[in-house]
Amino acid sequence: MKNVFYGSKSNNICAFCWKHRLGLTPKQLKKRRCLKRNCDALERRPHPMWDKREEQRAGRGAKKKRLEEKYREITGRSD
């Protein structure tokens, strides 16, 4: 068990904040918006959440490409 924010302990640590010297669970990471703010003090730790996040990002890119191709077919544009 490691210390995390809000005075609790958890084994589900996905990141570590060097500014506060505490671990973060995935839910706390989302709530505190550390990734959105591009926090310099944040260090990723091995966790399945990061793999899932990368898969989702890759899926969004693939979806965008598919939609652009369909749009080109419909409009006849080659932009």
Model confidence at 8, in pLDDT bands (50, 70, 90)? confident
The candidate with the shortest Cα–Cα distance to 52, out of 16, 5, 23, 14, is: 14
Question: What pTM value is reported for the model?
Answer: 0.69
What is d(CA 12, CA 72) in angstroms, rounded to the nearest whole number?
Answer: 45
The candidate with the shortest Cα–Cα distance to 22, out of 1, 38, 50, 48, is: 1
Residue 77 has pLDDT above 80, yes or no: no
What is d(CA 28, CA 34) in angstroms, rounded to the nearest whole number?
Answer: 9
The one-letter code for the residue type at 33 is: R
The mean pLDDT of the chain is 89
The one-letter code for the residue type at 40 is: D
pLDDT in the model for residue 43: 92
Model confidence at 78, in pLDDT bands (50, 70, 90)? low
